[in-house]
A = this chain, B = another copy of it.
Amino acid sequence: MVKYDRALDATFQALADPTRRAIVAALARGQASVTQLARPHRMSLPAVMKHLRVLEKAGLVTQKKFGRTRRCRLAARPLKKAEAWISQYRGFWETQFDSLDRYLAQQPTEVPEWPKNNSPQKQR
């Protein structure tokens, strides 16, 4: 049977969007207001706030109101679990890279000389 982990669902879902990943990166440099976060994306405030809600639901961002502005802050803790999940498979991608390395090591290192008027591929 499958063990469901809704927290992991929410973390990966939150990270599956480039704007949301950029917001995480921006907040890693320090707290920011919604307006400051919206600026580099040339997005409307409501659009950025929608992304912030997804990040907040995933526990990756906390928001606090100071008067009329909201300060957003990175809460990186859910990333630990996401990293741990992915890391289980490190052996697989390392093996895949090792196989490629081994294959490349077995290939001749010198560039073969092609007959002058018989190029194997047409130059475009």
Contact = CB atoms under 8 A, between A and B. Distances in A.
A32 to B, nearest CB: 15
What size tier do the contact residues of chain A reach? 35 or more
B76 A21 contact: no
A25 to B, nearest CB: 8
Residue among A9, A41, A75, A89 with most chain B CB within 10 A: A89
Contact of A13 (B2, B16, B19, B75): B16
A89 B28 contact: yes
Interface string A29-44: 0000000000011000
Given A82-B86, A96-B76, A2 B28 contact: no
Interface string A74-114: 11110110110111111011001100000000000000000
